[in-house]
Structure 1
Protein backbone atom coordinates (compact mmCIF):
# COMPACT_ATOMS: atom_id res chain seq x y z
CA UNK A 1 0.00 0.00 0.00
CA UNK A 2 1.06 3.57 -0.69
CA UNK A 3 -0.27 6.37 1.50
CA UNK A 4 0.00 10.00 0.45
CA UNK A 5 0.46 11.75 3.78
CA UNK A 6 -0.17 15.45 4.35
CA UNK A 7 2.60 17.04 6.42
CA UNK A 8 0.97 20.46 6.78
CA UNK A 9 2.28 23.86 5.69
CA UNK A 10 5.83 23.47 6.99
CA UNK A 11 5.72 24.01 10.75
CA UNK A 12 6.53 20.75 12.59
CA UNK A 13 3.91 21.60 15.24
CA UNK A 14 1.22 21.32 12.56
CA UNK A 15 1.67 17.61 11.81
CA UNK A 16 -1.41 15.63 12.78
CA UNK A 17 -1.29 12.83 15.33
CA UNK A 18 -2.23 10.42 12.54
CA UNK A 19 0.68 11.67 10.44
CA UNK A 20 3.13 10.96 13.25
CA UNK A 21 1.68 7.48 13.75
CA UNK A 22 1.92 6.61 10.05
CA UNK A 23 5.48 7.90 9.82
CA UNK A 24 6.44 5.56 12.64
CA UNK A 25 4.54 2.58 11.22
CA UNK A 26 5.75 2.85 7.62
CA UNK A 27 8.25 0.41 6.19
CA UNK A 28 9.75 3.28 4.17
CA UNK A 29 8.94 7.00 4.07
CA UNK A 30 9.51 8.86 0.80
CA UNK A 31 9.59 12.66 0.52
CA UNK A 32 9.81 15.08 -2.42
CA UNK A 33 12.40 17.47 -0.99
CA UNK A 34 14.38 18.91 1.91
CA UNK A 35 11.52 20.70 3.70
CA UNK A 36 9.46 17.50 3.85
CA UNK A 37 12.54 15.52 4.90
CA UNK A 38 13.13 17.93 7.81
CA UNK A 39 9.51 17.58 8.95
CA UNK A 40 9.79 13.79 8.91
CA UNK A 41 13.27 13.62 10.51
CA UNK A 42 12.19 13.74 14.20
CA UNK A 43 10.24 10.51 13.65
CA UNK A 44 12.34 8.54 11.18
CA UNK A 45 14.70 8.58 8.21
CA UNK A 46 13.29 9.15 4.75
CA UNK A 47 14.19 8.59 1.10
CA UNK A 48 14.25 11.81 -0.92
CA UNK A 49 12.84 11.60 -4.45
CA UNK A 50 13.37 14.05 -7.30
CA UNK A 51 10.27 16.03 -8.30
CA UNK A 52 11.53 18.96 -10.41
CA UNK A 53 9.50 22.17 -10.60
CA UNK A 54 9.16 22.48 -14.35
CA UNK A 55 6.57 22.91 -17.06
CA UNK A 56 8.27 20.26 -19.21
CA UNK A 57 5.61 17.55 -19.29
CA UNK A 58 7.97 14.94 -20.71
CA UNK A 59 10.45 15.46 -17.86
CA UNK A 60 7.67 15.41 -15.26
CA UNK A 61 6.37 12.11 -16.62
CA UNK A 62 9.87 10.61 -16.68
CA UNK A 63 10.50 11.59 -13.03
CA UNK A 64 7.13 10.22 -11.95
CA UNK A 65 7.90 6.90 -13.66
CA UNK A 66 11.34 6.72 -12.03
CA UNK A 67 9.87 7.48 -8.60
CA UNK A 68 7.08 4.95 -9.09
CA UNK A 69 9.69 2.24 -9.68
CA UNK A 70 11.44 3.17 -6.41
CA UNK A 71 8.22 3.14 -4.40
CA UNK A 72 6.61 0.01 -5.91
CA UNK A 73 8.77 -2.68 -4.22
CA UNK A 74 7.94 -1.25 -0.77
CA UNK A 75 4.25 -0.66 -1.54
CA UNK A 76 3.84 -4.19 -2.94
CA UNK A 77 5.06 -5.86 0.22
CA UNK A 78 4.34 -3.40 3.02
CA UNK A 79 3.47 0.19 3.87
CA UNK A 80 5.07 2.96 1.83
CA UNK A 81 4.34 6.52 2.95
CA UNK A 82 4.89 9.53 0.72
CA UNK A 83 5.06 12.66 2.88
CA UNK A 84 3.84 15.79 1.08
CA UNK A 85 3.75 19.41 2.19
CA UNK A 86 0.20 20.60 2.77
CA UNK A 87 -2.50 18.11 1.82
CA UNK A 88 -2.03 15.35 -0.81
CA UNK A 89 -5.44 16.10 -2.32
CA UNK A 90 -4.84 19.79 -3.07
CA UNK A 91 -2.82 20.52 -6.25
CA UNK A 92 -0.50 17.59 -5.53
CA UNK A 93 1.43 15.30 -7.87
CA UNK A 94 0.38 12.35 -5.73
CA UNK A 95 -2.66 11.50 -7.88
CA UNK A 96 -0.48 11.38 -10.98
CA UNK A 97 2.01 9.14 -9.20
CA UNK A 98 -0.84 6.79 -8.25
CA UNK A 99 -2.00 6.79 -11.86
CA UNK A 100 1.37 5.52 -13.03
CA UNK A 101 1.47 2.89 -10.29
CA UNK A 102 -2.02 1.74 -11.32
CA UNK A 103 -0.79 1.28 -14.90
CA UNK A 104 2.30 -0.69 -13.95
CA UNK A 105 1.33 -2.30 -10.64
CA UNK A 106 -2.48 -2.56 -10.51
CA UNK A 107 -2.33 -4.55 -7.27
CA UNK A 108 -0.94 -1.62 -5.26
CA UNK A 109 -3.58 0.25 -3.27
CA UNK A 110 -3.17 4.02 -3.00
CA UNK A 111 -4.93 6.22 -0.46
CA UNK A 112 -4.41 9.57 1.23
CA UNK A 113 -4.33 10.92 4.76
CA UNK A 114 -5.16 14.62 5.04
CA UNK A 115 -2.89 17.33 6.34
CA UNK A 116 -3.43 21.01 7.03
CA UNK A 117 -3.74 22.51 3.57
CA UNK A 118 -2.34 25.81 2.32
CA UNK A 119 -5.90 27.16 2.12
CA UNK A 120 -6.69 26.75 5.82
CA UNK A 121 -3.12 27.66 6.80
CA UNK A 122 -3.39 30.86 4.76
CA UNK A 123 -6.61 31.88 6.50
CA UNK A 124 -4.94 31.41 9.88
CA UNK A 125 -1.72 33.23 8.93
CA UNK A 126 -3.62 36.10 7.33
CA UNK A 127 -6.11 36.34 10.17
CA UNK A 128 -9.14 36.20 7.88
CA UNK A 129 -12.19 33.93 7.96
CA UNK A 130 -13.10 32.03 4.82
CA UNK A 131 -16.87 32.41 5.06
CA UNK A 132 -19.38 32.15 2.25
CA UNK A 133 -18.46 30.82 -1.16
CA UNK A 134 -14.95 31.24 -2.55
CA UNK A 135 -12.90 29.92 -5.46
CA UNK A 136 -9.49 28.26 -5.20
CA UNK A 137 -7.53 27.95 -8.44
CA UNK A 138 -3.98 27.50 -9.71
CA UNK A 139 -4.88 29.65 -12.71
CA UNK A 140 -6.89 27.02 -14.56
CA UNK A 141 -10.66 27.50 -14.94
CA UNK A 142 -12.49 25.80 -12.03
CA UNK A 143 -13.94 22.44 -13.06
CA UNK A 144 -15.21 21.25 -9.68
CA UNK A 145 -17.35 22.52 -6.84
CA UNK A 146 -17.51 21.53 -3.16
CA UNK A 147 -20.72 22.17 -1.24
CA UNK A 148 -20.60 22.12 2.56
CA UNK A 149 -23.55 21.31 4.84
CA UNK A 150 -25.28 19.39 2.04
CA UNK A 151 -28.47 18.44 3.91
CA UNK A 152 -30.45 17.85 0.69
CA UNK A 153 -27.77 16.45 -1.63
CA UNK A 154 -30.03 14.92 -4.28
CA UNK A 155 -31.73 18.27 -4.93
CA UNK A 156 -28.35 20.05 -5.01
CA UNK A 157 -27.00 17.48 -7.50
CA UNK A 158 -30.08 17.84 -9.72
CA UNK A 159 -29.62 21.62 -9.81
CA UNK A 160 -25.91 21.26 -10.59
CA UNK A 161 -26.60 18.81 -13.43
CA UNK A 162 -28.46 21.62 -15.18
CA UNK A 163 -25.25 23.67 -14.92
CA UNK A 164 -23.20 20.95 -16.59
CA UNK A 165 -21.87 19.00 -13.60
CA UNK A 166 -21.76 15.25 -14.19
CA UNK A 167 -19.74 13.55 -11.41
CA UNK A 168 -20.89 13.62 -7.79
CA UNK A 169 -19.53 12.28 -4.50
CA UNK A 170 -21.15 12.82 -1.11
CA UNK A 171 -19.24 12.13 2.11
CA UNK A 172 -21.42 12.04 5.21
CA UNK A 173 -19.84 12.40 8.68
CA UNK A 174 -16.31 12.02 7.31
CA UNK A 175 -13.77 10.26 9.51
CA UNK A 176 -16.42 9.44 12.10
CA UNK A 177 -17.00 5.71 12.76
CA UNK A 178 -20.30 5.86 10.83
CA UNK A 179 -18.90 7.67 7.78
CA UNK A 180 -20.72 6.96 4.50
CA UNK A 181 -19.70 7.72 0.92
CA UNK A 182 -22.20 7.95 -1.94
CA UNK A 183 -21.44 8.38 -5.65
CA UNK A 184 -23.48 9.67 -8.59
CA UNK A 185 -26.85 7.84 -8.71
CA UNK A 186 -26.48 6.72 -5.08
CA UNK A 187 -26.75 10.31 -3.76
CA UNK A 188 -29.54 10.29 -1.11
CA UNK A 189 -32.42 12.73 -0.74
CA UNK A 190 -31.36 13.79 2.78
CA UNK A 191 -28.06 13.77 4.57
CA UNK A 192 -26.49 14.68 7.90
CA UNK A 193 -25.54 18.32 8.59
CA UNK A 194 -21.89 17.17 8.52
CA UNK A 195 -21.94 16.28 4.84
CA UNK A 196 -19.83 17.48 1.92
CA UNK A 197 -20.87 17.17 -1.71
CA UNK A 198 -18.31 17.21 -4.51
CA UNK A 199 -19.33 17.89 -8.11
CA UNK A 200 -17.21 17.90 -11.28
CA UNK A 201 -18.08 19.00 -14.79
Structure 2
Protein backbone atom coordinates (compact mmCIF):
# COMPACT_ATOMS: atom_id res chain seq x y z
CA UNK A 1 0.00 0.00 0.00
CA UNK A 2 1.10 3.63 0.27
CA UNK A 3 2.27 6.47 2.47
CA UNK A 4 1.00 9.80 1.19
CA UNK A 5 2.76 13.03 2.01
CA UNK A 6 -0.09 15.56 2.03
CA UNK A 7 0.45 19.31 1.85
CA UNK A 8 -2.18 21.12 3.91
CA UNK A 9 -1.45 24.60 2.56
CA UNK A 10 -0.56 27.58 4.77
CA UNK A 11 -2.97 26.79 7.61
CA UNK A 12 -6.56 27.64 6.74
CA UNK A 13 -8.48 24.40 6.47
CA UNK A 14 -10.35 25.39 3.29
CA UNK A 15 -7.03 25.78 1.43
CA UNK A 16 -6.44 22.01 1.50
CA UNK A 17 -6.70 20.72 -2.07
CA UNK A 18 -9.57 18.48 -3.16
CA UNK A 19 -7.10 15.62 -3.71
CA UNK A 20 -5.51 16.18 -0.32
CA UNK A 21 -8.89 16.09 1.40
CA UNK A 22 -9.78 12.84 -0.38
CA UNK A 23 -6.52 11.19 0.71
CA UNK A 24 -7.07 12.29 4.32
CA UNK A 25 -10.59 10.87 4.30
CA UNK A 26 -9.50 7.53 2.78
CA UNK A 27 -6.30 6.91 4.77
CA UNK A 28 -6.37 4.38 7.60
CA UNK A 29 -4.25 6.66 9.78
CA UNK A 30 -3.04 10.24 9.36
CA UNK A 31 0.18 11.24 11.09
CA UNK A 32 0.69 14.81 12.20
CA UNK A 33 4.09 16.19 13.28
CA UNK A 34 2.70 19.09 15.30
CA UNK A 35 -0.33 20.77 16.82
CA UNK A 36 -0.81 23.34 14.03
CA UNK A 37 -1.04 20.75 11.28
CA UNK A 38 -3.23 18.64 13.54
CA UNK A 39 -5.66 21.53 14.03
CA UNK A 40 -6.11 21.72 10.23
CA UNK A 41 -6.57 17.97 9.83
CA UNK A 42 -9.26 17.76 12.53
CA UNK A 43 -11.46 19.97 10.34
CA UNK A 44 -11.52 17.12 7.81
CA UNK A 45 -11.34 13.83 9.76
CA UNK A 46 -12.07 12.66 13.33
CA UNK A 47 -9.25 13.17 15.80
CA UNK A 48 -9.27 9.46 16.69
CA UNK A 49 -7.79 8.69 13.24
CA UNK A 50 -4.80 10.99 13.76
CA UNK A 51 -1.49 9.59 14.92
CA UNK A 52 1.08 11.79 16.64
CA UNK A 53 4.80 11.63 15.91
CA UNK A 54 7.29 13.21 18.27
CA UNK A 55 10.10 15.28 16.71
CA UNK A 56 12.49 17.06 19.07
CA UNK A 57 13.22 20.77 18.68
CA UNK A 58 16.96 20.36 18.34
CA UNK A 59 19.80 20.80 15.87
CA UNK A 60 21.71 17.80 17.19
CA UNK A 61 22.11 15.58 14.09
CA UNK A 62 22.24 12.27 15.95
CA UNK A 63 19.14 13.06 17.98
CA UNK A 64 17.32 14.05 14.81
CA UNK A 65 18.38 10.89 12.97
CA UNK A 66 17.13 8.78 15.87
CA UNK A 67 13.77 10.59 15.85
CA UNK A 68 13.32 10.06 12.10
CA UNK A 69 14.23 6.37 12.34
CA UNK A 70 11.68 5.97 15.14
CA UNK A 71 9.05 7.79 13.06
CA UNK A 72 9.77 5.60 10.03
CA UNK A 73 9.49 2.47 12.16
CA UNK A 74 6.07 3.63 13.38
CA UNK A 75 4.78 4.59 9.93
CA UNK A 76 6.17 1.75 7.80
CA UNK A 77 3.96 -1.12 9.10
CA UNK A 78 0.81 0.98 8.68
CA UNK A 79 1.80 1.94 5.13
CA UNK A 80 2.63 -1.68 4.23
CA UNK A 81 -0.71 -3.03 5.42
CA UNK A 82 -2.91 -0.14 4.30
CA UNK A 83 -2.82 3.52 3.34
CA UNK A 84 -1.30 6.10 5.66
CA UNK A 85 -0.76 9.84 5.34
CA UNK A 86 1.77 12.24 6.78
CA UNK A 87 0.63 15.85 6.77
CA UNK A 88 2.65 19.03 6.68
CA UNK A 89 1.79 22.69 6.40
CA UNK A 90 2.58 24.17 2.98
CA UNK A 91 3.89 21.76 0.37
CA UNK A 92 5.58 18.46 1.31
CA UNK A 93 8.61 19.19 -0.88
CA UNK A 94 9.24 22.83 0.08
CA UNK A 95 11.13 23.37 3.37
CA UNK A 96 9.16 20.52 4.88
CA UNK A 97 9.66 17.83 7.52
CA UNK A 98 8.27 15.26 5.10
CA UNK A 99 11.53 15.06 3.16
CA UNK A 100 13.34 13.65 6.20
CA UNK A 101 10.73 10.93 6.62
CA UNK A 102 10.73 10.02 2.93
CA UNK A 103 14.52 9.66 2.83
CA UNK A 104 14.53 7.58 6.01
CA UNK A 105 11.88 5.25 4.60
CA UNK A 106 13.87 4.90 1.37
CA UNK A 107 16.93 3.89 3.40
CA UNK A 108 15.39 1.56 6.00
CA UNK A 109 12.00 0.55 4.58
CA UNK A 110 12.36 0.55 0.77
CA UNK A 111 9.32 -1.69 0.37
CA UNK A 112 7.01 1.22 1.33
CA UNK A 113 5.52 3.10 -1.61
CA UNK A 114 5.48 6.89 -1.12
CA UNK A 115 3.42 9.45 -3.03
CA UNK A 116 3.24 13.23 -2.61
CA UNK A 117 0.08 15.34 -2.75
CA UNK A 118 1.17 18.96 -3.31
CA UNK A 119 -0.24 21.81 -1.27
CA UNK A 120 -0.40 25.58 -1.49
CA UNK A 121 3.10 26.62 -0.47
CA UNK A 122 4.04 29.47 1.83
CA UNK A 123 5.56 31.20 -1.20
CA UNK A 124 2.21 31.29 -2.98
CA UNK A 125 0.45 32.46 0.16
CA UNK A 126 3.07 35.14 0.71
CA UNK A 127 2.99 36.62 -2.79
CA UNK A 128 -0.82 36.67 -2.67
CA UNK A 129 -1.00 38.38 0.72
CA UNK A 130 1.51 41.05 -0.32
CA UNK A 131 0.25 41.49 -3.87
CA UNK A 132 3.72 40.63 -5.20
CA UNK A 133 3.72 39.73 -8.88
CA UNK A 134 6.47 37.35 -9.97
CA UNK A 135 6.67 38.12 -13.67
CA UNK A 136 7.37 35.56 -16.36
CA UNK A 137 11.13 35.28 -16.63
CA UNK A 138 11.76 36.91 -13.25
CA UNK A 139 14.08 35.12 -10.85
CA UNK A 140 12.88 34.38 -7.32
CA UNK A 141 15.22 32.69 -4.85
CA UNK A 142 14.16 30.82 -1.70
CA UNK A 143 16.42 31.17 1.31
CA UNK A 144 16.31 30.36 5.02
CA UNK A 145 16.91 33.23 7.45
CA UNK A 146 16.71 31.71 10.91
CA UNK A 147 18.63 33.15 13.86
CA UNK A 148 19.11 36.56 12.26
CA UNK A 149 20.73 35.40 9.01
CA UNK A 150 20.63 37.84 6.08
CA UNK A 151 21.23 35.93 2.84
CA UNK A 152 21.94 38.24 -0.09
CA UNK A 153 22.72 38.05 -3.80
CA UNK A 154 19.55 37.54 -5.93
CA UNK A 155 17.37 40.52 -6.87
CA UNK A 156 14.25 38.91 -5.38
CA UNK A 157 14.11 36.52 -2.45
CA UNK A 158 11.50 34.90 -0.24
CA UNK A 159 13.04 34.13 3.14
CA UNK A 160 11.67 31.37 5.36
CA UNK A 161 11.90 31.04 9.15
CA UNK A 162 12.70 34.69 9.91
CA UNK A 163 13.02 34.20 13.67
CA UNK A 164 15.01 37.40 14.37
CA UNK A 165 13.50 40.00 12.05
CA UNK A 166 15.48 43.05 13.33
CA UNK A 167 18.84 41.32 12.79
CA UNK A 168 17.83 39.96 9.38
CA UNK A 169 16.47 43.36 8.38
CA UNK A 170 19.68 45.18 9.22
CA UNK A 171 21.76 42.93 7.00
CA UNK A 172 19.34 43.09 4.09
CA UNK A 173 18.96 46.87 4.17
CA UNK A 174 22.74 47.33 4.38
CA UNK A 175 23.01 45.28 1.20
CA UNK A 176 20.44 47.41 -0.63
CA UNK A 177 17.13 45.54 -0.26
CA UNK A 178 13.60 46.72 0.42
CA UNK A 179 11.97 44.20 2.76
CA UNK A 180 8.40 43.30 3.67
CA UNK A 181 7.49 40.75 6.34
CA UNK A 182 4.52 38.45 6.67
CA UNK A 183 3.65 36.42 9.76
CA UNK A 184 1.10 33.59 9.92
CA UNK A 185 -0.35 34.35 6.51
CA UNK A 186 -3.55 32.46 5.68
CA UNK A 187 -3.28 30.65 9.01
CA UNK A 188 -6.18 30.13 11.39
CA UNK A 189 -3.80 29.97 14.36
CA UNK A 190 -2.47 33.30 15.62
CA UNK A 191 -2.64 36.84 14.29
CA UNK A 192 -1.72 37.66 10.69
CA UNK A 193 0.77 40.51 10.28
CA UNK A 194 2.15 42.20 7.17
CA UNK A 195 4.67 44.96 7.82
CA UNK A 196 7.85 46.66 6.66
CA UNK A 197 8.84 47.40 10.26
CA UNK A 198 10.83 44.51 11.77
CA UNK A 199 10.23 45.83 15.29
CA UNK A 200 6.54 44.95 14.94
CA UNK A 201 7.52 41.28 14.69
CA UNK A 202 10.62 41.28 16.88
CA UNK A 203 9.22 38.43 18.95
CA UNK A 204 10.41 35.08 17.63
CA UNK A 205 7.88 33.21 15.50
CA UNK A 206 8.83 30.32 13.22
CA UNK A 207 5.99 31.17 10.81
CA UNK A 208 7.46 34.48 9.62
CA UNK A 209 8.60 35.11 6.06
CA UNK A 210 10.17 38.05 4.29
CA UNK A 211 10.13 39.29 0.72
CA UNK A 212 13.35 41.11 -0.18
CA UNK A 213 13.76 43.02 -3.45
CA UNK A 214 16.66 45.12 -4.62
CA UNK A 215 15.85 48.80 -4.10
CA UNK A 216 15.23 50.53 -7.43
CA UNK A 217 14.87 47.26 -9.32
CA UNK A 218 13.63 48.07 -12.81
CA UNK A 219 10.47 46.25 -13.89
CA UNK A 220 9.37 46.20 -17.52
CA UNK A 221 5.70 45.27 -17.32
CA UNK A 222 3.68 46.02 -20.46
CA UNK A 223 0.02 46.85 -19.93
CA UNK A 224 -2.99 46.69 -22.21
CA UNK A 225 -3.03 50.51 -22.26
CA UNK A 226 0.59 50.69 -23.36
CA UNK A 227 0.07 48.03 -26.02
CA UNK A 228 -2.96 49.89 -27.38
CA UNK A 229 -1.01 53.15 -27.58
CA UNK A 230 1.76 51.37 -29.40
CA UNK A 231 -0.69 50.00 -31.97
CA UNK A 232 -2.25 53.41 -32.42
CA UNK A 233 1.08 55.11 -33.02
CA UNK A 234 2.09 52.39 -35.46
CA UNK A 235 -1.14 52.94 -37.37
CA UNK A 236 -0.52 56.68 -37.66
CA UNK A 237 2.78 55.98 -39.37
Structures share fold, TM-score greater than 0.5: yes
- Contact 2:88–2:97 (Cα < 8 Å) also in 1: no
Match of 1:152 in 2: none
Structure 1: 4+ residue segments shifted above 3 A: none
Instruction: Give the counterpart of 1:126 among 130, 147, 153.
Output: 130
Greater RCO, 1 or 2 (C-alpha within 8 Å, sep 6+): 1
Aligned-pair Cα RMSD in Å: 1.8
Find the residue that maps to 1:137 and give its secondary structure: strand
1:65-84 Cα deviation digits (max 9, x unpaired): 11111101111111110010
* 1:114 shift after superposition: 0.3
* 1:99 shift after superposition: 1.7
Match of 1:135 in 2: 141
Q: In the TM superposition, what are the counterparts of 1:46-125 in structure 2 within 5 Å?
A: 46-125=50-129
Match of 1:21 in 2: 22
Match of 1:34 in 2: 35
Gaps of 5+ in 2: 152-237
Distance 1:130 1:34 in 2: 32
Bigger radius of gyration: 2
Distance 1:100 1:14 in 2: 29
Find the residue that maps to 1:133 and give its secondary structure: coil
1:99-138 Cα deviation digits (max 9, x unpaired): 2112222110112110000110110111211221111122
- Contact 2:92–2:118 (Cα < 8 Å) also in 1: yes
Distance 1:40 1:93 in 2: 16
**Residue 9 in 1 paired to residue 15 in 2?**
no
Distance 2:37 2:97 in 1: 14
Distance 1:52 1:11 in 2: 25
Distance 1:109 1:20 in 2: 20
Find the residue that maps to 2:57 and give its secondary structure: coil
Distance 1:117 1:54 in 2: 24
Distance 2:97 2:39 in 1: 20
TM (norm. structure 1) is: 0.66
Distance 1:94 1:12 in 2: 19
